[in-house]
């Protein structure tokens, strides 16, 4: 009997140690992140829609007191964008266009971000039912996620190595399909960054060597369908063929297609009517000679091929040399995102009426 009690006691201790070990994994990971003064992460991010996977090279920088810089380069078309947060504002910068969306937003604290360590810790804290498993030489933490503008994303798996460093993050939909995958290849938790590493002026492109340009060309409109206040400094362009969305909500049809000439080139205005009315504007992207800053009352939104700016009734983005502006008071953010991701070099539409 005594032997049985001893064996039972040993088993209890072993089970207790196992549980404590798993709890310590989360505790150690959170502690290491909380103690970071600045970091630099590099790796790749894959975004999958129903048909394609888009791969970005990724650099993420953080400085204590909420300074962030995330550099994403689309590996297919080399399209580069930077999300920059300083002490006052948030910008989504497209260096090749000398253009930036400017936000007054709670990003990144108002949504999950698979490539930011603080966001991963917050998701762990917010999910009291988070799960942790140990497999081979890694720990896997499963948590719910919060993507207010993308209801398709439901949960994530955070992969840590034996040193409690992040190796990979996978974000899944409700069908257990990976929609976003971030793989880290280098992590520097003592990057020694300073506030001057997070300046908008670092991305201002001068027209000529020695010509100092300041980002003072601020356009007060909220979409890429707007005119610039310094049009004389812009080039002109043209759209050779109309690009139609392959996704249109049910009982909604293309009712008008208009091409108009502007001082910048031409502009296409597509009107869709039915159960979900919306307007889609397309125009050629133009590289500015001075930084164009467009204030947006909304949030940065990661699309399949680019980062856009979404508000309650509009979505703006630039991709493949086209600037798009989608406006509707009836579409949900998920529907606007579906339309944006469905736009390709195709002349097909779901319905014409």
pLDDT digits (tens, 9 = 90+) for 182-236: 999 999 999 999 999 999 989 876 554 444 444 545 544 444 444 444 444 445 5
Q: Cα separation of 141 and 136, whole Å? A: 14
Say whether pLDDT at 277 is over 70.
yes
Domain ranges of the chain: 36-188, 214-342
pLDDT digits 0-9 by tens, 145-187 = 999 999 999 999 999 999 999 999 999 999 999 999 999 999 9
Share of the chain above pLDDT 90, in %: 68
Task: Give the per-residue pLDDT at 180.
Answer: 97
> 280: helix, coil or strand?
strand
List the Cα angle 222/223/229 in 5-degree steps. Answer: 75
pLDDT value, residue 217: 52
Task: Answer yes or no: is pLDDT of 307 > 50.
Answer: yes
Q: Note whether 216 and 320 are within 8 A (CB).
A: no
**CA-to-CA distance for 206 and 176, rounded, in angstroms?**
47
Give the pLDDT band of residue 262 (cuts 50, 70, 90).
confident
Average pLDDT of the residues in 21-45 = 92
pLDDT confidence band for 297 (50 / 70 / 90): confident
40-56 pLDDT per residue, tens = 999 999 999 877 899 99
The architecture (CATH level 2) of 36-188 comes to Clam (2.50)
Q: Which CATH superfamily is domain 214-342 in?
A: MucB/RseB, C-terminal domain (3.30.200.100)
Could you write out the DSSP letters of every residue in 117-182?
HHHHHHHHHH-TT-EEEEETTEEEEEEE---TT-TT--EEEEEEETTS-EEEEEEE-TTS-EEEEE
**What pLDDT does 236 receive?**
57
Distance CA 322, CA 316 (A): 11
- The burial class, CB within 10 Å (0-12 / 13-18 / 19+), for 7 is exposed
pLDDT, residue 258, reads 94
293 in helix, strand or coil?
strand
């Amino acid at each position: 009997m005594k032997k049985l009690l001893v064996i039972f006691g040993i088993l209890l201790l072993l089970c207790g140690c196992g549980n404590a070990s798993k709890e310590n994994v989360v505790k150690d990971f959170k502690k290491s992140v909380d103690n970071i003064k600045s970091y630099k992460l590099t790796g790749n991010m894959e975004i999958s829609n129903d048909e394609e996977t888009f791969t970005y090279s990724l650099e993420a920088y953080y400085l204590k007191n909420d300074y962030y810089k995330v550099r994403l380069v689309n590996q297919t078309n080399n399209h580069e964008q930077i999300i920059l947060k300083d002490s006052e504002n948030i910008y989504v910068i497209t260096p090749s266009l000398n253009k930036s969306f400017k936000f007054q937003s709670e990003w990144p604290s108002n949504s999950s971000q698979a490539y930011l360590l603080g966001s991963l810790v917050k998701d762990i804290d917010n999910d009291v039912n988070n799960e942790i498993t140990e497999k081979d030489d890694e720990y896997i933490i499963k948590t719910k996620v919060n993507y207010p503008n993308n209801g398709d994303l439901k949960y994530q798996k955070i992969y840590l190595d034996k040193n409690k460093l992040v190796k990979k993050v996978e974000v899944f939909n409700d069908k257990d399909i990976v929609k976003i995958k971030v793989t880290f290849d280098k992590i520097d938790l003592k990057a020694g960054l300073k506030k001057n590493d997070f300046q908008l002026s670092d991305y201002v492109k001068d027209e000529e060597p020695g010509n100092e340009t300041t980002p003072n060309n601020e356009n007060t409109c909220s979409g890429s369908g707007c005119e610039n206040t310094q049009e004389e400094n812009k080039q002109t362009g043209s759209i050779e063929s109309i690009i139609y969305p392959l996704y249109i909500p049910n009982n909604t049809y293309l009712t008008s297609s208009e091409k108009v000439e502007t001082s910048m080139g031409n502009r296409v205005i597509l009107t869709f009517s039915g159960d979900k009315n919306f307007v889609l504007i397309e125009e050629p992207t133009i590289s500015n000679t001075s930084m164009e800053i467009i204030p947006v009352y909304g949030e940065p939104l990661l699309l399949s091929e680019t980062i856009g700016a979404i508000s309650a009734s509009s979505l703006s983005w630039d991709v493949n040399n086209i600037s798009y502006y989608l406006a509707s008071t009836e579409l949900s953010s998920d529907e606007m995102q579906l339309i944006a991701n469905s736009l390709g070099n195709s002349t097909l539409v779901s319905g014409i009426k």
